[in-house]
């Protein structure tokens, strides 16, 4: 081979071997775990909410009620003094198992790690959930956050009640028993094996033999979790956002207007501005009746231009909401990546649209900024605005505690 | 499980299937977009959009091509949108800083990407899809929406121009070495 061709081929080989970002992939998986198809039935939404943090193995336990009680007993055994570590492995593109998630359980406390990165979650009297994202944390009611559903198999079963399942049981000797679960749902089928202790009913291993996640392995290890594995203290100075209280505040703010300006003889009201820890800014406006789908839609904060969402579609990802009906008003939401902002913005420029005409710019000054962890988590859990589908009552949380 | 079964399972909202799809295809899609955009950050954003779009559109997947090709098609579409936006933002004077230097730690990779940037974008895209992403000529045609003959021609021209670029660089280096020695 001649030298130039060799050099080109060497370059191609090098490009194929470039590293890829594990953290970005983890964030994507987290996003997808909390995102759903708009047509997904509500019961699946409920299930997905529960599993957003639990990882992906649990939905694979799909026995029909015939063996549900037995398997429930297995999962619940010794729960009052629970001490276990669960690990979930998924095969990568080369077929090698990679640790996707671990969950350390001690009593009613749990700590999750995704791809080895710690996400701490603590349950207090089953009422509120704290989730730590490293540089900030959130707290919210369990009913509107992630549920510890692992021991509520009946809920899983009701979510999979249209699954045709065949279960066989096999004594392995030495006190072990194995369940082989063949299931079929529409045109998709799979086989899962669960091995556990016959008398204590504790599960030890789940193997996904066929179907979605084939090759995945979920492993239970008992007695290895230490107190320090589940201890969690919010460090002084770390922001702790009360999601329920913030949703309540968001709805309350939607009733009023901070300030107004006139653009092309139209009155534009600034309703509220929120910034998140990812550097995104959400601006709610009154009076604009277009959709921010223009390619060059930009939001400017104190002279610095941010990258705005440019596509209609999922507000979870693109931050493009268009006109939203909220508290009887038609508000236009615009979201943009602007980077860190202070508690007040001196000057804010936002694109507005009138009919199908070209965009104009509305400018506001000296604006209070509200803060949250991730705008999408605050506003669109399960990719659905929290004020829709009864995910949150407009009357606010049961116990505002911010 | 074949691509069609996996797609159906993802369409049914199965989280494991979606994770499996990501595990199988994230790395190549990300590499493709990073090589096209030459920006780690933008490639991460675009890759996320690709998979989110894939999740929402998976019901429309009919198995006419492999999931790999289908995902590359979405990725290519996202990239063209990104490029268009960059042109527009450039026009209004808010273009971000250029390529992120040094994300590629290997000299050969960096040289090749620099050289590809000097080619017509269509040549670069075809080359990356075929040579680096290992898509067949037919698959490249599907992803880029170009006739097979055009793809073949672009691949030939890309190689040929890369070769010329290498030769000119090599000659300059030889000349500089000689000049230094003298």
A-proximal residues of B, 115-174, CB under 8 Å: 115, 128, 131-132, 159, 162-163, 166-167, 170
Strands A137-141 and A240-242, how do they pair?
A: parallel
- B132 and A12 Cβ atoms separated by less than 8 Å: yes
| Distance in angstroms between the alpha carbons of the first and the last residue of chain A | 69
- Top mean pLDDT of A136-150, A224-238, A244-258, A322-336 is at A244-258
Q: Tell me the pLDDT band of A358, cut-offs 50, 70 and 90.
A: low
Give the closest residue to A364 by CA, choosing from A244, A293, A267.
Answer: A267
Residue A46 has pLDDT above 60, yes or no: no
Model pLDDT, residue B136: 93
Stretch among A175-184, A283-292, A314-323 having the lowest mean pLDDT: A314-323
Other C-beta atoms closer than 10 Å to the C-beta of A313 total 16
**Between the CA of residue B39 and those of A172, A331, A350, B92, B103, what are the distances in Å?**
54, 35, 27, 21, 8
Give CATH for domain A22-238: 2.50.20
Pick from A4, A211, A295: CB nearest B166: A4
> Mutate which of A34, A43, A207, A213 to test chain B, going by most B C-beta atoms within 10 A?
A213
Calculate helix-pair angle for B137-144, B148-181, nearest 10 degrees: 100
CB spacing of B132 vs A14 below 8 angstroms:
no
CB spacing of A21 vs B30 below 8 angstroms:
yes
- Give one DSSP letter per residue of A26-41, joined into a string: HHHHHHHHT---TTS-
Rounded CA separation A17/A22 (Å):
15
CATH number for domain B105-182, candidates 3.60.21.10, 3.20.20.60, 3.30.420.40, 1.10.10.10: 1.10.10.10
* Residues of chain A contacting B51 with CB distance shorter than 8 Å: 28, 32
CB spacing of A298 vs B159 below 8 angstroms:
no
Rounded CA separation B155/B162 (Å):
11
ipTM here? 0.82
Greater confidence (A54 vs A243) lies with: A243
Domain boundaries, chain A: 22-238, 242-383
Give CATH for domain A242-383: 2.60.40
Structure tokens at B90: 């450039």
Residue A400 has pLDDT above 90, yes or no: no
Closest CA of chain A from B98, distance in Å: 15
Over residues A136-147, mean pLDDT: 61
- B53 and B29 Cβ atoms separated by less than 8 Å: no
Domain boundaries, chain B: 1-103, 105-182
Residue A150 has pLDDT above 70, yes or no: no
Over residues B93-97, mean pLDDT: 38
Over residues A361-382, mean pLDDT: 87
For residue B89, give the chain A residue with the closest CA: A296
Residue A243 has pLDDT above 60, yes or no: yes
Over residues A187-198, mean pLDDT: 79
pLDDT per residue as tens digits for the range B81-94: 888 777 654 444 33
- Top mean pLDDT of A115-119, A221-225, A364-368 is at A364-368
Model pLDDT, residue A391: 37
Model pLDDT, residue A189: 79
Q: Tell me the pLDDT band of A164, cut-offs 50, 70 and 90.
A: low
Q: What is chain A's length?
A: 402
pLDDT per residue as tens digits for the range A51-82: 333 333 333 333 344 444 554 454 444 444 57
| Distance in angstroms between the alpha carbons of the first and the last residue of chain B | 65
Closest CA of chain A from B149, distance in Å: 22
Give CATH for domain B1-103: 1.10.1740.10
CB spacing of A18 vs B34 below 8 angstroms:
yes
């Amino acid at each position: 081979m001649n030298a130039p061709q060799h050099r080109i081929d060497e370059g191609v080989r090098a490009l194929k071997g470039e590293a890829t970002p594990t953290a970005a992939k983890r964030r994507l998986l987290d996003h997808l775990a909390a995102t759903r198809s708009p047509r997904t039935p509500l019961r699946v939404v409920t299930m997905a909410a529960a599993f957003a943090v639990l990882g992906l193995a649990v939905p694979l336990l799909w026995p029909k009620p015939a063996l549900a009680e037995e398997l429930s007993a297995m999962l619940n055994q010794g729960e009052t003094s629970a001490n276990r570590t669960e690990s979930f492995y998924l095969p990568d593109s080369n077929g090698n198992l990679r640790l996707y998630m671990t969950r350390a359980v001690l009593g009613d406390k749990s700590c999750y790690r995704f791809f080895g990165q710690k996400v701490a979650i603590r349950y207090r009297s089953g009422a509120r959930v704290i989730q730590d994202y490293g540089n900030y944390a959130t707290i919210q009611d369990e009913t509107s956050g992630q549920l510890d559903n692992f021991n509520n198999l009946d809920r899983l079963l009701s979510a999979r009640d249209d699954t045709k399942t065949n279960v066989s049981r096999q004594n392995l000797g030495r006190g072990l028993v194995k369940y082989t679960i063949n299931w079929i749902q529409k045109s998709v089928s799979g086989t899962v094996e669960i091995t556990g202790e016959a008398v204590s009913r504790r599960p030890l291993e789940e193997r996904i033999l066929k179907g979605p996640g084939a090759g995945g392995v979920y492993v239970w290890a008992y007695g290895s979790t230490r107190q320090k594995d589940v201890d969690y203290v919010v460090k002084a100075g770390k922001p702790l956002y009360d999601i329920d209280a913030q949703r309540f505040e968001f709805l309350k703010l939607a009733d009023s207007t901070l300030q107004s300006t006139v653009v092309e003889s139209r009155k534009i009201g600034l309703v509220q501005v929120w910034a998140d820890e990812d550097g995104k800014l959400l601006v709610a406006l009154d009076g604009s009746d277009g959709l921010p789908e223009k390619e060059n839609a930009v939001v400017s904060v104190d002279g610095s231009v941010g990258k705005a969402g440019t596509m209609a579609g999922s507000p979870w990802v693109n931050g493009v909401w268009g006109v939203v009906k909220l508290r009887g008003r038609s508000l236009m939401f615009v979201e943009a990546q602007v980077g860190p902002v202070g508690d007040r913005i001196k000057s804010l420029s936002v694109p507005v649209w009138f009919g199908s005409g070209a965009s104009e710019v509305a400018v506001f000054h000296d604006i209070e900024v509200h803060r949250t962890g991730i705008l999408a988590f605050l506003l669109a859990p399960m990719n659905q605005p929290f004020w829709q589908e009864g995910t949150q009552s407009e009357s606010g949380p049961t116990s505002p505690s911010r | 499980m074949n691509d069609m079964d996996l797609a159906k399972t993802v369409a049914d909202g199965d989280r494991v299937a979606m994770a499996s799809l990501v595990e199988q295809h994230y790395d190549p899609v990300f590499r493709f977009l990073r090589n096209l955009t030459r920006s780690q950050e933008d490639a991460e954003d675009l890759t996320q959009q690709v998979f989110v779009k894939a999740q929402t559109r998976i019901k429309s997947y009919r198995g006419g091509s492999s999931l790999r090709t289908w995902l590359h098609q979405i990725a290519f579409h996202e990239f063209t949108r990104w490029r268009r936006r960059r042109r527009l933002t450039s026009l209004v004077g808010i273009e971000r800083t250029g390529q992120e230097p040094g994300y590629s730690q290997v000299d050969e990779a960096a040289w090749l990407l620099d050289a590809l940037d000097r080619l017509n974008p269509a040549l670069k895209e075809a080359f990356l899809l075929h040579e680096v992403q290992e898509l067949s000529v037919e698959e490249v045609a599907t992803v880029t929406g170009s006739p097979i003959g055009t793809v073949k021609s672009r691949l030939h021209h890309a190689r040929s121009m890369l070769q010329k670029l290498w030769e000119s660089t090599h000659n300059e280096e030889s000349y500089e070495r000689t000049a230094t020695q003298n």
